[in-house]
């Protein structure tokens, strides 16, 4: 099945920010790898509070990057080499924080800095947050800024949220994100 996917052999940067939906990011990493993609994962410090990097290493078979100051080999500048080596980037979950950083060029950790260097690549973001946060005018402005810059957005979906309420804010399902990535790669 791996050779049937449009992402077979595609180098994907998986950016993981710190939200409850991080568990879906592990599932997505597994699905991407099963489809034949080469997945490099970059996690924020807050993402590491929800899921350990070893979870991503286990499903991708590749090292996980969590700091601008670690895993630098042969004097490479980590965020630039990660950006240069990927063909497409996907951010899951895309929290209000990382959306704001991406929209405003804020580079204060490995993920935001790498994504800033990826601006010429195809990027997909899958927002996940509480409905009150999602509908905040500042977040909506940031999302529009990203769309205008060519970033594709998938979701969020309506459903039960981590806080126990129901509303729009659930991250799209990993299979739907995989399908969108296949469509983006085929173009």
13-116-55 Cα angle (round to 5): 30
pLDDT in tens, 63-121: 999 987 665 554 454 567 788 889 999 999 999 999 999 999 999 999 999 999 998 89
Active-site residue (options: 48, 86, 116, 163): 163
> How does strand 88-94 pair with strand 11-16?
parallel
Give me the percent of the chain exceeding a pLDDT of 70. 92
83 in Cβ contact with 13 (< 8 Å): yes
Q: Is 116 a catalytic residue?
A: no
Domains and CATH numbers, the chain: 2-186 (3.40.50.1950)
Rounded Cα distance, 33 and 60, in Å = 6
Residues 6+ apart with CB under 8 A from 175: 31
Count of CA atoms in the C-beta half-sphere (13 A) of 27 = 13
pTM for this entry: 0.91
pLDDT in tens, 36-66: 999 999 999 999 999 999 999 999 999 999 9
């Amino acid at each position: 099945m791996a050779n049937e996917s449009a992402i077979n052999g595609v180098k994907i940067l998986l950016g993981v920010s710190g939200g409850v939906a991080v568990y879906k990011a592990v599932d997505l990493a597994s699905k991407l790898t099963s489809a034949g993609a080469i997945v490099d994962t970059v996690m924020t410090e807050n993402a590491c509070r929800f899921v350990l990097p070893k979870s991503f290493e286990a499903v991708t078979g590749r090292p996980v990057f969590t700091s601008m100051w670690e895993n630098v080999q042969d004097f490479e500048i980590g965020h630039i080499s990660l950006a240069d080596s990927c063909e497409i980037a996907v951010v899951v979950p895309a929290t209000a924080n990382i959306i704001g950083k991406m929209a405003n060029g804020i580079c204060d950790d490995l993920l935001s800095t790498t994504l800033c260097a990826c601006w010429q690549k195809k990027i997909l973001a899958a927002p996940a947050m509480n409905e009150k946060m999602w509908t905040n005018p500042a977040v909506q402005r940031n999302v529009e800024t990203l769309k205008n810059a060519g970033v594709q957005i998938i979701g969020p979906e309506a459903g039960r949220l981590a806080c126990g309420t129901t509303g729009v804010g659930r991250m799209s399902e990993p299979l739907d994100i995989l399908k969108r990535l296949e469509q983006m790669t085929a173009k």
